[in-house]
Amino acid sequence: MRGAVLYGPRDVRIDERPDPTIIEPTDAVIRLSATCVCGSDLWPYRGLNAASDPAPMGHEYCGIVEEVGRGVTSIKRGQFVIGSFAASDNTCPHCLAGYQTSCAHREWVVGAQAPFLRVPMADGTLVATQELPSPHQVPSFLAVSDVLGTGWFAADAANVKPGATVVVVGDGAVGLLGVLSAKQMGAERIIAMSRHHARQTLAREFGATDIVSERGDEGVARVKELTKGVGADSVLECVGTQESMAQAIHATRPGGSISYVGVPHGVELAGAELFYTHVHLHGGPAPVRRYLPELIQLVQNGTINPGKVFDLELPLEQVAEGYRAMDERRAIKTLLRP
């Protein structure tokens, strides 16, 4: 098959790769209905993670089960399934506690920017829809696989409650879906920090009540102004830089909660400063698997339409342009059709 491979900084290509097969009896092989480029794919694309050998790319997926191993019991051939970027058994103590991304048998899923994908621990990792989706639902189910699941975790981990005042730092796909998630959880006021017009518009569509385009201390001052000097109850940090983390901590009220779901790059926290801010911090790679059944249901019944974050759709063969458009912030998120 032909799939996306990263060869070095800003060099992603479609290349010949081996067809995935069942290796362990608990595996499934799925035929992807759609896949996409993640904000986190841009870190290695920009050369910010140590580049080593050519790396198959992609970890967001949904599609039809082609084949299952003899140890798979609940997932069946022909089902439409969605999984997370972390394969998990869904039975170990960490999974049972809702932290499937810390599963004792976790395997990171790679190589999903391709027509076919091997998924380990299929019974634990995958969730099937009740019926096959209509074509217009596919982008929303694909969003559930990572960006919505991560945005939902961001809102949940920041303890968003009905009536809450929420700040979302970061206007990438995860931040925008963090806005949608906070809205679903009943937030009354949602302040989106963004200085990009198209993203501000989508943030408002997803439920943002205010937009703050300033950054850093100025952004924090603006949030304080909007909250009568108090700060937000819940802050979703969806970037992963020192500046965004500082912005999140300073925009939170004493006793408030901050979630952080962007992979930190160069973030250092000062103990004494944290001590005196009285905030809760809860983050990490989102345990998307925990939320799959609920989010699939919300898409299935049309309550939410997270697929709107895909503002560029390309054939998989044009993956290089898909990365470029996101890198240059011409696209929020690229959907790829295998």
Q: Of 92, 128, 267, 320, which lies in the binding site for Zn ion, with binding defined by CB under 5 A?
A: 92
Distance CA 274, CA 302 (A): 41
- The residue count for binding Zn ion (CB under 5 A) is 5
Minimum separation from the CB atom of position 105 to Zn ion (A): 6
Please compute Rg for the chain using Cα positions: 19
Distance CA 181, CA 184 (A): 5
Minimum separation from the CB atom of position 88 to Zn ion (A): 5
Q: In the structure encoding, which two tokens stand for residue 34, read together? A: 């759609």
Minimum separation from the CB atom of position 59 to Zn ion (A): 18
Q: Is 336 in the site for Zn ion (CB under 5 A)?
A: no
Residue 291 or 323 having the CB closest to Zn ion: 291
Q: Is 125 in the site for Zn ion (CB under 5 A)?
A: no
Cβ neighbors of 191 (< 8 A, separation 6 or more) are 165, 166, 167, 168, 208, 209, 210, 211, 212, 223, 226, 232
Q: Is 232 in the site for Zn ion (CB under 5 A)?
A: no
Q: Is 288 in the site for Zn ion (CB under 5 A)?
A: no
Stretch that binds Zn ion, among 71-79, 95-103, 294-302, 315-323 (CB under 5 A): 95-103
Q: Of 27, 41, 60, 89, which lies in the binding site for Zn ion, with binding defined by CB under 5 A?
A: 89
Stretch that binds Zn ion, among 92-100, 142-150, 215-223, 231-239 (CB under 5 A): 92-100
Residue 177 or 292 having the CB closest to Zn ion: 292
Q: Of 5, 95, 202, 292, which lies in the binding site for Zn ion, with binding defined by CB under 5 A?
A: 95
Minimum separation from the CB atom of position 95 to Zn ion (A): 3
Distance CA 122, CA 229 (A): 49
Minimum separation from the CB atom of position 290 to Zn ion (A): 11
Contact 246, 223 (CB under 8 A): no
The number of angstroms, rounded, from the C-alpha of 164 to the middle of its chain's C-alpha atoms is 23
Q: Is 41 in the site for Zn ion (CB under 5 A)?
A: no
Q: In the structure encoding, which two tokens stand for residue 333, read together? A: 């998120």
Contact 170, 283 (CB under 8 A): no
* DSSP conformation letters of 124-180: HH-EE-SSPPPGGGHHHHHHIIIIIHHHHHHHHHTT--TT-EEEEE--SHHHHHHHH
**Distinct helix (H) and strand (E) counts, the chain:** 12, 18
Stretch that binds Zn ion, among 97-105, 234-242, 259-267, 303-311 (CB under 5 A): 97-105
Q: Is 64 in the site for Zn ion (CB under 5 A)?
A: no
Which residue ranges make up the site for Zn ion (CB under 5 A)? Answer: 88-89, 92, 95, 103
